[in-house]
Structure 1
Amino acid sequence: MKIIEASKDHFFIIQSLADRIWPPTFANILTSDQIRYMMDMMYSTSALEEQIEMLGHHYLLAEENGEYLGYVSYEFDYKDADITKIHKIYVLPSLQGKGVGRFFIDAVVRIAKEYGNAELSLNVNRFNKAIDFYKRLGFEVIKSEDIDIGNGFLMEDYVMNKKL
């Protein structure tokens, strides 16, 4: 398995992965309307361009034998703190529990340390089974927050942090 730093040329791959990952991952947590709304909000070409060009997000893809397995995005110095924020980390459902997520976290830990940040942070839906995965990797729940994302939808999240 290898990591590829994503660029604009990879937007279609990220969008294709999101189309395959989001509906089954969130089917029992969010309504189909909210899934569609959030996917458009986060994965339209203009949204991806803004994330990379204006917000300083970096995307990595995992690839093995010509197949893309998932993606992670992160930002250094989140809110002007010594924190690397993981904005997205998603793996194909058929590969969840097989080490791809850990591979991504390990990569971001290494990159964040090289950059000089001392902590990782991420948000996770309070009903997402990935919470246990993050806890096993040393993340702790710092707080709970509800984020109004418009159109009458909320993101009901835990904020989880990990010291590096």
Structure 2
Amino acid sequence: MKSQSSFEVKPLGERDWPVLKSLVDRVWPVTFKDILSEEQIAYMMEFMYSTASLKKQVETGSRFYILYEAAEPIGYLALIPNYRNEKLTKEGSWMKVDKLYVMPENHGTGAGRFLMDFAFAEANKENVQGVMLNVNRDNKAVKFYEYYGFKTAYSGDFDIGKGYLMQDYIMVYPFKE
């Protein structure tokens, strides 16, 4: 594992959109190629990961960050502060890790842990119940989240249009019980 001091997280700036889009285009299809059909990947890339969609996510409160190693972009993170989930708590909110992706060649280097540590540091600045996320039930990242201490709260099938579902676990790391 590399020294975590070799990683740096920077908030997304206006000039960083092409960097983010390049990371998304390289990471996301590879991550899901064994889980989703090519047609669903193409649909989701347009629906959720087009530049217009990503910018709309920022406009509605998502915070995007890019992970660098030696000035090279190797991953990205999106957080949604004060996220409400009625199934988890009737009152209070969560810090939602909405996106956390690292280039496949950087898996196992501590880069994902570095991003998650950053997400927790951001969550600790807010008055939230804890950190939560959705992850595809067949994604290898489930093991990473479990290792980090997340527990599965429930699972769900979420309709995203055109007959496609996101079949996710909703995982939580509560700060307070």
Q: TM-score range by the shorter chain?
A: over 0.9
Match runs of 1:70-89 below 5 Å? 70-79=75-84, 81-89=92-100
Q: Secondary structure at the match of 1:21?
A: helix
- Structure 1 residue 13 displacement after superposition: 1.1
Secondary structure at the aligned position of 1:52 is classed as: helix
Shift of 1:7: 2.5
1:140 and 1:6 mapped to 2: Cα distance? 29
When normalised by structure 1's length, the TM-score is 0.95
Q: Which moved more, 1:58-67 or 1:140-149?
A: 58-67
Larger Rg: 2
RMSD: 1.2
Do the aligned residues in 2 keep the contact of 1:112 with 1:118 (CA within 8 Å)?
Answer: no
Per mean C-alpha deviation after superposition, the further-off stretch among 78-87 and 119-128 is 78-87
What displacement does 1:123 show? 0.3
* TM-score relative to the length of structure 2: 0.88
Provide the secondary structure at the position in 2 that maps to 1:76.
strand
CA distance in 1, matches of 2:14, 2:47: 17
Task: Work out the percentage of aligned pairs sharing the same amino acid.
Answer: 39
Corresponding residue SS for 2:77: strand
The more displaced of 39-48 and 146-155 is 39-48
Correspondent of 2:159 among 148, 151, 158: 148
Q: Distance in 2 between matches of 1:9 and 1:63?
A: 15
Q: Which residue of 2 aligns with 1:95?
A: 106
Unaligned runs of 5+ in 2: 1-6, 85-90
Runs of 5+ in structure 1 lacking a partner?
none
* Secondary structure in structure 2 of the residue aligned to 1:115: coil
